[in-house]
Amino acid sequence: MDPNLARLLEEDPMGKLFAAAEEASRPFTNHLAQQYPRVKQALEEAHNSPEMRAKLNFSTEAHMRLSAAALGVTYEELKGYFDLSQSMKEGLTARRREAVRYSTLRRSGAALLHRAPVIKIRHGKLLNEPFKPYIVLFSTGWCFWCQLVKPTFARLAYFFDRCELLYCKDEELAKAEGVRFFPQLVAYFPGGIKVRSECGNTTRELWNNLNLLITLGRGFAEREGTLVCSDGECRVESAD
């Protein structure tokens, strides 16, 4: 392994940012858990299951009722949880941003990405590459967690030579590509096959997911899949 890559993985800048943000969130998340323990537990379990998370949609009352049923909680519990969460949003956002020095982080992330060997998607179009795979990091300007991932993604790009890396902040394109949450990695393969993955919460998880998308995605024969890791094993599961 390149010694500079080993040092980056050891220093884990992304993991430190996530840990700082989560520590700042703790008073808010603890209060939510005390008020709505069943919802909190159900959402945590769903977060660890890409298949379950893909089923959740809270955009309308009808969608929220379906999501409540999928989570095994009542609609009233789920709505109360989100109402309370919304009422604390301003304070939570301020605490998180202070913890990670958000303004500085955004500027440094943008500068690192600008210099990195990453293709920036323009004009709402992916690569027209029928023979080689590539990976896209889908992000948005409003996504807090995306800003925590971006600097490390840019740094890792110098060491990742298995395919082209792309960055996309076009929400319309993300929607057209079926992206349901941010940030998200999507690997595209010849034949129109694509495999999705979370970024992870640490530098090593992001690095591993980039590599696993290519290693496991190459042998995936269906149109769309999701990288799933549990009990120390990883696989690509069909999205159908």
Average pLDDT over residues 45-55: 77
Mean pLDDT over the full length of the chain:
93
Domain ranges of the chain: 9-98, 105-238
DSSP-H helix ranges across 74-117:
75-87, 89-100, 102-115
Cα(22)–Cα(41) distance, integer angstroms: 17
| pLDDT tens digits, one per residue of 129-182 | 778 999 999 999 999 999 999 999 999 999 999 999 999 999 999 999 999 889
Q: Could you give the percent of the chain with pLDDT greater than 70?
A: 99
State yes or no: pLDDT of 53 exceeds 80.
no
Burial 84-106 (b: 16+ CB within 10 A, else e): bbeebeeebeebbbebbebeebb
- Residue ranges of E strands in 102-163: 119-120, 134-138
Rg (alpha carbons) of the chain, rounded to whole number: 18
State yes or no: pLDDT of 84 exceeds 80.
yes
pLDDT band per the 50, 70, 90 thresholds, residue 124: confident
Read off the amino acid at residue 145.
Answer: W
CATH of domain 105-238: 3.40.30.10
Say if residues 210 and 196 touch (Cβ distance below 8 Å). Answer: no
Half-sphere exposure at residue 79, Cβ-oriented, CA atoms within 13 angstroms: 10
State yes or no: pLDDT of 211 exceeds 90.
yes
Average pLDDT over residues 116-132: 86
Cα(88)–Cα(82) distance, integer angstroms: 10
Token duo for residue 205:
């998880």
Q: How far is CA 209 from CA 85, 92, 115, 229, in A?
A: 30, 29, 22, 10
